[in-house]
Amino acid sequence: MLLPSSTGYAFNRTRRAYLATHLSVAGTHWSRFRGLMCTDVAKFRTGDGLWIVPCRGIHTFAMNFPIDALYLDANKVVVHIEESLKPWRLGRVSLRAASVLELPGQTVSTSGTAVGDSIDIGMGEIPESVRA
């Protein structure tokens, strides 16, 4: 569930492309479990994202739209990608992952994101150093 006050961002430093400019963080047990369950696709549009931390695997139970998921290690380097993960599925569990960034479907292909890319994640205003 995305919060209207979210002001975080996710920026692919390798590709110089924004993945999310309205990023929410799921950092509690309940928010990590709930994730995007029961979220309407109209409330998870291009530019939105959910960063689940800590996390090594995801599911799309109680969702009605596909998502892209980037599994990030502790340095926020992409170690695995799930593209267009359909509703009611289990994503892979990766012991190398420290967090997962959930994005609207097609974000990975549009941005060209690949395993090995470095991702900047921040809350608040987007700093000048990562502006595309």
Domain ranges of the chain: 8-130
Question: Apex CA 73: angle with CA 68 and CA 75, to 5°?
Answer: 120
Contact 10, 119 (CB under 8 A): yes
Rounded to the nearest angstrom, the gap between the alpha carbon of residue 101 and the centroid of all alpha carbons in its chain is 2
- Binned at pLDDT 50, 70 and 90, residue 7 comes out as confident
More confident residue, 71 or 127: 71
> In the CATH scheme, what architecture does the domain 8-130 have?
Sandwich (2.60)
- Is residue 131 pLDDT above 70, yes or no? no
More confident residue, 29 or 69: 69
- Is residue 2 pLDDT above 50, yes or no? no
pLDDT attached to residue 88: 96
Where are the extended beta strands (E) located within the chain?
8-12, 17-26, 48-52, 67-72, 78-85, 99-104, 119-122
**pLDDT single digits (tens) 31-83:** 988 889 988 999 999 999 999 999 999 999 999 999 999 999 999 999 999 99
Mean pLDDT for the chain? 91
